[in-house]
Structure 1
Amino acid sequence: MRTDMATRPRTYNVLNILTKFHAFPSEVDGKFCLVECTVPVGAGAPPNHHAGETEGFFVLDGQIMFVIDGGEYPAGPGDYIAIPDGAVHAFKAIGDSPARVLILNAPGHMHEAFFTGLGTVLPDDQTKLPTPNEPDLGAVLKVAGEVGMTIVGPE
């Protein structure tokens, strides 16, 4: 049961990605963070790594290219991609339409802090992609460093 739904924002613009929290770690005994992301074509996450947070992606719609430790892995609806602990990874929506993906991070505290620290709060009922803007690389690096994530470089 969500106990802080009314008081806590759940929807953010993170790197032009519409990010909706389905579960914060505090709602699930600190076990995981579950977000649903709508990713515009060409948007995604830069190469990064983070020890101690398991990450998995389940593609709902569209196409996403994952890069994990230098290998490329295209994924579409129904595909699950697991990120090995500490692996350098990135992803980008490809194709003709935005992709939609569920991301599970365990225990999720690092990703919750990154997404909420970097993101801009949006109305919780928003379903339209945010207006794209150029991500502030300095802010990305600062927030990532504060939460224990390493950004390796641009995609």
Structure 2
Amino acid sequence: MDRTVSHRTTSQPNGHEGHDHHAHPQQPARDVLHVRAGEGRSVWLSGDVYTVKLTHEESGGSLTFLEASVPPGGGPPLHIHADADEAFYLLSGELDITAGGRNYAVRSGDFVFIPKGTAHRFRNNGLHAARQLLLFSPSGVDRFFLEAGSSPVPGTPPPPPEAEDLPRVVAIGERHHLFQAVEEPQ
């Protein structure tokens, strides 16, 4: 995995050196990170392919960013992130998202924000793979994906969710403040 990192700079952008009229709180300097298309660490999990584009360490704890490919029938079970908000942006395909007791038919270009502590899941009930971007804030959920997921095999579809060692995935999730939720009768 080749990631491009540029060095930090201490100067203010747009020639604002020494000007206080728009003072901003001092933030720790971080490197700029450029992750090219097709780069990032990928894993299989819940029948899907997840690629971590930005880790907890790389963002200084502020956010985690993933790309996901969800084949027909794919998607995780109902779960809760106890300490992270999650945002979905669907690039292509269609997903059915259940969150907070409501169902949403999500299509290309749709955005969904799910506050921490909200039971949610998504499922691809369509014919074609769906591609989405996932943002978690604060970060740390990447550690769950990288620990619980398995190494993908190019040219091979991910195994169905039923083939996973669910007790192992649940235990890893709990260590990372991600909990299985109870399905409510419809």
Superposition TM-score, scaled by structure 2 size: 0.72
| Alignment RMSD | 2.4
Q: CA deviation at 1:135?
A: 2.0
Unaligned runs of 5+ in 1: 4-8
Matches within 5 A, 1:77-116: 77-109=108-140, 111-116=141-146
Q: What is the alpha-carbon distance in structure 1 between the residues aligned to residue 158 and residue 78 of structure 2? A: 23
Task: Report % sequence identity.
Answer: 27
Q: CA deviation at 1:130?
A: 3.1
Which residue does the alignment assign to 1:118?
A: 148
Which residue does the alignment assign to 2:157?
A: 130
Q: What is the alpha-carbon distance in structure 2 between the residues aligned to residue 131 and residue 14 of structure 1? A: 8
Q: Deviation digits for residues 116-141 of structure 1, max 9, x if unmatched?
A: 11101237xx5x56342412221121
Which residue does the alignment assign to 2:56?
A: 25
Q: Any conservation in 2 of the 1:18–1:129 contact (CA below 8 Å)? A: no
Higher radius of gyration, 1 or 2? 2
Q: What is the alpha-carbon distance in structure 1 between the residues aligned to residue 157 and residue 183 of structure 2? A: 21
Q: What is the alpha-carbon distance in structure 2 between the residues aligned to residue 17 and residue 119 of structure 1? A: 10
Q: Deviation digits for residues 70-118 of structure 1, max 9, x if unmatched?
A: 1100101100000022111011112110100000011121x11210111
Structure 1 segments (4+ residues) deviating >2 Å: 128-131
2:43 corresponds to which letter in structure 1? Y
Go from structure 1 to structure 2 and tell me whether the alpha carbon gap of 1:33 and 1:129 turns closer, same or farther (over 3 Å shift).
farther
Question: What secondary structure is seen at the aligned counterpart in 2 of 1:142?
Answer: helix
Unaligned runs of 5+ in 2: 6-32, 35-39
Q: Any conservation in 2 of the 1:46–1:153 contact (CA below 8 Å)? A: no
Which residue does the alignment assign to 1:6?
A: none
Give the aligned length. Answer: 148
Which residue does the alignment assign to 2:72?
A: 41
